[in-house]
A and B are shown apart, each in its own frame.
Chain A
Amino acid sequence: MTLGHALQSMIARNRIKIRNINRRYAHPRIALTPTVRWALVALRFYLLFLVALLGYKFFTMLA
């Protein structure tokens, strides 16, 4: 088996593995109470804010 074939089969195996992981953890086990839901939404906004800041910094560095 060539190195190319070995890599191909490894990627294919891991793709299946990732799909299985996504399937296994498709639904959060934690009960989504209003507090938990609020915390997760706040986290998403917080991360969007940070990514926007990082993007802004990156473009001002390039300019």
Chain B
Amino acid sequence: MRALFPQDEEGIMNWITKLYYRARRAWKAISIYLMIAGPGLVVMVADNDAGGITTYAATGAKYGYNLIWFLVLLGPIAYFVQEMTMRLGVVTKRGHAEAIFDGFGSFWGWFSLLDLILVDWLTLITEFIGMTAALRIFGVPGWVTVAGVCSLMGFMVINGRYWTWEKVSLIFCALNLIYIPAAFIVHPSVSDVLSEGMIPNFGKGFDSDMFFFLMANIGTTIAPWMLFFQQSSVVDKGVKEKDMFFGRLDTFIGSIATIVIAVFIVIVTGTVLPGMEIDDAAQAAKILMKTHRHAGELLAIGLFNAGLLGAICISLASSWAFGEVFGWAHSLNNKIKEAPWFYLNYFITLISAGAVVLIPGAPLVLITLFVQVVAVTLLPASLVFLLILLNDKETMGEYANTKLQNIVTGTIVVFIIVLATLYAVNTMFPSLFG
């Protein structure tokens, strides 16, 4: 048998030298990754926004660990779709809104842009609903939350550096891992999680309620703003074709992070609130606090953080899209006086959405339901455009979709469109599916 370590002095020196160069190479790769990392990780973790956290918390409460396997399957779906937007942005150096205008003409361009603005604004309201509900648990009034969030988000962008914005966003992404300690606090049975959660099953049977939950989970996996956000983000960051591998790695790690977070939320509510029907994550946090104070607090903090991260990305997605189409300066590397329209759009979207939540008697539940329906008017169009653009060999060259990629992503796109449509129809007509 060959010895693991060399026995003679020369052999040891060679071994140490090799080890040193390997470590240097690995460190260089990690350094490059850390420079490129950002858009994929941020968009994927922000995908678990306030609405997403509510969906996962409600899924765990109603079905325990039984649907964890389904969440795991959603990881590759999110990866394949977002990888395409990253590739399109890197190659074309233009955002999704501009790419649609250029590729499909002004009719589809205006449709996508205006629909995006509406969907983003409504989604932003739901993020504020989540954030105010989360901090109300700690006695913070709604207006303080809205004012604080707007100030923080203003501070993140006004220094005129993409790098600063991204690194602060990554800190909030890391904070989303708060659900992992929360899950350990409630002491779940690991064997139950593995046996009930990792083997595909439908618990007590497949019915219309479960169908609704499956659709809701898919609906939170891919949202229209994600396509626009990541593409604009890689353009603003200046990611190049040679960095494609790290862009993919960034998206891949992000897709794992988003699923890990979702699974741990399901574990928390599945352990403490099994069989319970909950309407939102703040309600779950309050119930949880009665028996596991710290786990409930972590759930509430996580909900606030998720809403904040969602708001950070969504408000930028709109401003980038407008800037691209109208030809305004639209980079986070621009100061306010260099890109006034970009920042004006950003702040108007942000402040108006926050203000809606503070209006007494505002139809917030209706808005939450409406956003799911309006999102479905944009998502299929954006996904179809994405697929067509990725097949445009003239622009994409060697980075165009291969036949295998088309089969995989085409199947995913059809799957998402059908289920998201059924989800929207079910939201509008709840009695339709029994």
A-side interface residues toward B, CB under 8 Å?
17, 21-22, 25-31, 36, 39-40, 43, 46-47, 50-51, 53-54, 57
Contact = CB atoms under 8 A, between A and B. Distances in A.
A54 B101 contact: no
Interface in B255-275: none
5 contacts: A25-B102, A28-B103, A28-B108, A46-B421, A53-B428
Q: Taking chain B's interface residues, is the majority helix, strand, or loop, or is none over half, making it mixed?
A: helix
A28 B108 CA distance: 10
Given A30-B388, A40-B104, A47-B381, 13 more contacts: A17-B326, A25-B102, A28-B103, A28-B104, A31-B392, A39-B384, A40-B108, A43-B384, A46-B380, A51-B377, A53-B428, A54-B428, A57-B429
B106 interface: yes
A29 B103 CA distance: 5
A22 B106 contact: yes
Interface of B: 101-106, 108-109, 111, 325-327, 373, 376-377, 380-381, 384, 388-389, 392, 421, 424-425, 428-429
B105 A25 contact: yes
Q: Taking chain A's interface residues, is the majority helix, strand, or loop, or is none over half, making it mixed?
A: helix
Contact of A50 (B102, B376, B388): B376
B392 A57 contact: no
Contact of A47 (B106, B377, B425, B429): B377
Contacts of B428: 53-54, 57
A30 B387 CA distance: 12
B101 A43 contact: no
Contacts of A39: 384, 388
B106 A26 contact: yes
B389 A30 contact: yes
Contact of B109 (A17, A25, A40, A54): A25
A21 B102 contact: no
Contacts of B373: 50, 54
A43 B378 CA distance: 10
A58 B424 CA distance: 14
Contacts of B101: 21, 25
Closest 9 CB pairs of A and B: A28-B105, A25-B106, A30-B103, A25-B101, A57-B428, A22-B106, A28-B104, A50-B377, A29-B102
B106 A21 contact: yes
A21 B108 CA distance: 13
A41 to B, nearest CB: 11
